[in-house]
Amino acid sequence: MRQGWLWRLTHPRRTIWPTRDGWWCVLVAIGLGVAAVNTGNNLLYLLVSLLLAIIIVSGVLSEQSMRGLELIAVEPEAIYAGHPVLFGASIANRKRRLTSYSITIERLSPGASPRFLYVARLLAGVERLVAWEDTLSKRGRHRLAGVRITTRFPFGLFLKAGQPMLASEVIVFPAVRPVSPDLLRQLGAAGDKAARRRGRGTELYNLRGYRVGDDPRLIHWRSSAKTQTLMIRELEAETTEDTRLVLVGTGARDADALDAALSDAASLATHLIRTGAGVELVGPGFYVRLGRGKTQLHRLLTALALYDPLATPRGAVPDDDAEGTLSRLRQIRVRLG
């Protein structure tokens, strides 16, 4: 029981601190109190009582405004180094009847002044979404500074603040840039393999009836003449061939060159995945098996984001050439640094 009380004293649920006007109110109340004791003047006692009542009412109403508030993080799907990203939080008033007034969501920033988002009124049982833009400049694992709820309601004499929340850990991917036209020509970005799905290729996938907005150039006139209705050609998507990205070296000597090389690898992987190709990643001490789609792209970008030349051990890449995987993969080498 004593440990519980000690923990509550050292870890208060909320903190309260006087503002500039609050300090003036406290000092005036103390000064008037001393004068009232020395002179016995009833008017001074009344003024002291009024100031103390204002302070007590301010504490009670600010606590009522803060009670029952809940913050729920709304994090972006992907964060790229150097690119602005939209963060958000849903603030909910869980009280049954009472409204919360003058709520401020304070965004904490290490080494910088906090930034504020203001909610004037939040009705009981209502949620409101607030969002802000931020930029993380370095790849890797980062812990967000978090946010906290504060209020100066009702008189602005005291700042009441809750504990920091939403200080979650996020992974920042390397910066992804458009692949240069020269490299696109080398990759053969249009590809010559049919992906067996609808797309913008050249091979016929299916015939269907005309719909408003279809490209008239895709009308199949012979079938239209036979069926006496307009028929549209659906084309097969084409994709590039499966690719193995090989990271050469460690990049331990030059951190800036390493980040630039990892950004190039991330850009290549993103482009190839979006065109439907399978991508495999081989690097110093890590290996991401061949795959496709958004899940595979997330694996690739996570491996590149968390790569540390000093901490990552140099290990052997699994030998899967027995299944003929290596022989059928195009290889692209990216030199780290």
- What is the DSSP-derived secondary structure letter of residue 322? G
Predicted pLDDT at 54: 93
The torsion angle over the Cα atoms of residues 225, 227, 228 and 234, rounded to 10 degrees, is -70
Grade residue 188 by pLDDT with cuts at 50, 70 and 90. Answer: low
Grade residue 192 by pLDDT with cuts at 50, 70 and 90. Answer: very low
Percent of the chain with pLDDT over 70: 82
Q: Would the pLDDT of 196 be above 80?
A: no
Grade residue 100 by pLDDT with cuts at 50, 70 and 90. Answer: very high
Q: Would the pLDDT of 194 be above 60?
A: no
Backbone angles phi, psi at 121, to 5 degrees: -150, 135
Who wins on pLDDT, 187 or 119? Answer: 119
- Which tens digit of pLDDT belongs to each residue from 211-250? 877 777 778 788 888 887 888 877 665 445 788 899 888 8
Predicted pLDDT at 57: 93
CA angle 126, 128, 130 (to 5 degrees): 165
Predicted pLDDT at 145: 81
What burial class does residue 100 get, using C-beta atoms within 10 Å of its C-beta: 0-12 exposed, 13-18 middle, 19+ buried? buried
Q: Which domains does the chain have, with CATH numbers?
A: 1-170 (2.60.40.10), 193-239 (no CATH), 241-335 (no CATH)
d(CA 175, CA 263): 5
Predicted pLDDT at 326: 52
> What is the pairing mode between strands 243-248 and 330-335?
parallel
The DSSP annotation for 236-281 comes to EEEEPPPEEEEEES---S-HHHHHHHHHHHHHHHHHHHHTT--EEE
The DSSP annotation for 183-237 comes to HHHHHTTT-SEEEEEESSSSSEEEEEE--TT--GGGB-HHHHHHHTS-EEEEEEE
* CB-CB contact of 51 with 28 (8 Å): yes
Token representation of residue 287? 């290996």
d(CA 325, CA 244): 10
- Which tens digit of pLDDT belongs to each residue from 225-236? 888 788 887 766
Whether the model clears a pTM of 0.95, i.e. scores above it, the answer is no
Average pLDDT, the chain: 81
Predicted pLDDT at 208: 80
Q: Would the pLDDT of 301 be above 90?
A: yes
Reference 255, options 337, 140, 322; nearest CA is 337
